[in-house]
Amino acid sequence: MDLNYFGNYAAAGVSDSYLRNFPQFDKFLFGSNSAKSWHDSLQFGIRKSTATYNLRAYYTWSKSLDTTSSDGSDI
């Protein structure tokens, strides 16, 4: 990438995108899918019914773990 002489293109009458197709991008970032993640959950429910009432209670516990943070940096 031409980072030194890019400012001179307009003065020479050359379009910004003549040598660089996307001049607004000056970095190349590479990502991979090498991260791992786990999700554990426990669901529990109980139900009691009679002729006059119904009682239901449910509880869910969950936990998520991963090897990469949400901003993409390694932990």
Instruction: Return the CA Rg of the chain.
Output: 29
> Model confidence over 19-68: pLDDT tens digits?
666 666 667 777 677 778 888 999 999 999 988 899 999 999 999 888 77
Between 16 and 43, the more confident residue is 43
What pLDDT is recorded for position 23?
Answer: 60
Instruction: Tell which residue, 37, 58, 39, 32, has the closest CA to residue 47.
Output: 58
Q: Are 43 and 58 a contacting pair, CB within 8 Å?
A: yes
Ordered by start, the domain boundaries in the chain are 36-75
Counting DSSP H helices and E strands in the chain, the numbers are 0, 2
Which residue has tokens 């090897």?
Answer: 67
State the pTM of this model.
Answer: 0.37
Torsions phi, psi of 19, nearest 5?
A: -100, -25
